[in-house]
Every structure is written in C-alpha cells, then in structure tokens.
Amino acid sequence: MSEFTCKIPVKSYIKSYLENNCGYPADLSGLPEIHDFFLSSLRRPRFHRDNQSKCNYTDSIEIIISEDVFHRFGWQLSKTDTVRFNQRCEAFIKFNSRQFIMANNALGIPVSECIREFQHLYNFSEDSFSYETIKKDFDRHGTKTRIKLIHDFKSELNNILLDNLSTLGTISDSFKNDANLDMKSEVKK
C-alpha cells in the first residue's frame, strides 16, 4: 500500500517531539491518542472559524497517512484543526514533562536537574522547548500531580513492604490484609 504525507505547521518543540518519537516523516501510529485525533481532524475539518484561527507556527512536520486515509478522508487540515492539533500535542508533551519532573523530584532530585534531564532525554534544545517554559508550566501545574504521585508512591511502597514481610513470615497474611484495608480507608478520608 502506498503512503502519502500531510505537511502541517507546528510549534518547534512539537516538531522535535514527533520526529524523535515517530521519525521523519512522522508515523503517528506509535502515539495512538495523537494519531486518532489527527485522523479525526482529517475526517471532520472545521472550516467555520478558519478566518479567526491564528496559524503562524514557525516549523512544520510531515505526517504519514495511508493511501486509504488519503482517498477516504483527505490529506490536509483546516487552520482550525491545525491549531487544535498543536494544542493537543502541546498538552500531551507538557503532561509528560510534568510527570517526568514530578516523579524524579519525588525521588529527591532537584527540579532544575529534572528539567535538564527531561530536555536531554526527549532531545529538546533550549530553542525548541526552553528551561524557563518547562519550569513555568511545572510551577503552575506540577503541585497537583506531585501530591497524588507521592501518595500513590507511599501506598505502593507500603504494599510492597507488607508483601515482603508476609513472605518472610514476619507478619501474617491476615495482618497484611487488615493493614491494606486500613491504608485504603485512610485514602478515602
């Protein structure tokens, strides 16, 4: 089956992220949520706000579409859907950055090192996704997820500890089950 591409304008860090994860041209099938959103945008373009949409992104990326998709749904996005695609990718990337930073910070690594490691791991240059941008986003939205992660991490650590103690015979299975129930009831409070 032949493959076609759709070239759309994107923010620079979205281009970096998609090229690093999906190749060039980008095969979005490895990112199902973004791939499904992209296909639905091809299927149902929204032209009613195209005069209002600002679509002046500095970079662009080519995305692979199959011949079947090309013939059935089309090969380009409206300006509105291009903006919506960028917003979806941006939310996805920022969510990943907050999760990465928060998880590593919970292990005692300073936030600044976590951000630099995230940039390095995801191959984001300072020009494409700057330290300051990531830090501002994390400062705004990271505390909510940090509290949940620390609580979940503590619960999972306690479960592992109780399992190990039960396996060693230090505590009984009934005590382990009672302790797990107590921990779950504390969570609901």
For the stretch 108-163, pLDDT in tens is 888 899 999 999 988 888 888 889 999 998 888 876 656 566 667 777 777 788 78
Q: Where are the domains of the chain?
A: 3-146
Q: What is the pLDDT of residue 146?
A: 60
pTM listed for this prediction: 0.65
CB burial of 87-115 (b: ≥16 within 10 Å; e: otherwise) equals ebbbebbbeebbebbbbbbeeeeebeebb
Averaged pLDDT of the chain: 78
Q: Which two tokens stand for residue 122?
A: 């995801």
d(CA 31, CA 38) in angstroms, rounded, equals 11
* For the ranges 1-15, 119-133, 165-179, the one whose mean pLDDT is highest: 119-133
User: Residue 123: enclosing H or E segment and its boundaries?
Assistant: none
Instruction: Evaluate if residue 49 carries a pLDDT over 60.
Output: no
Q: Which two tokens stand for residue 50?
A: 């195209």
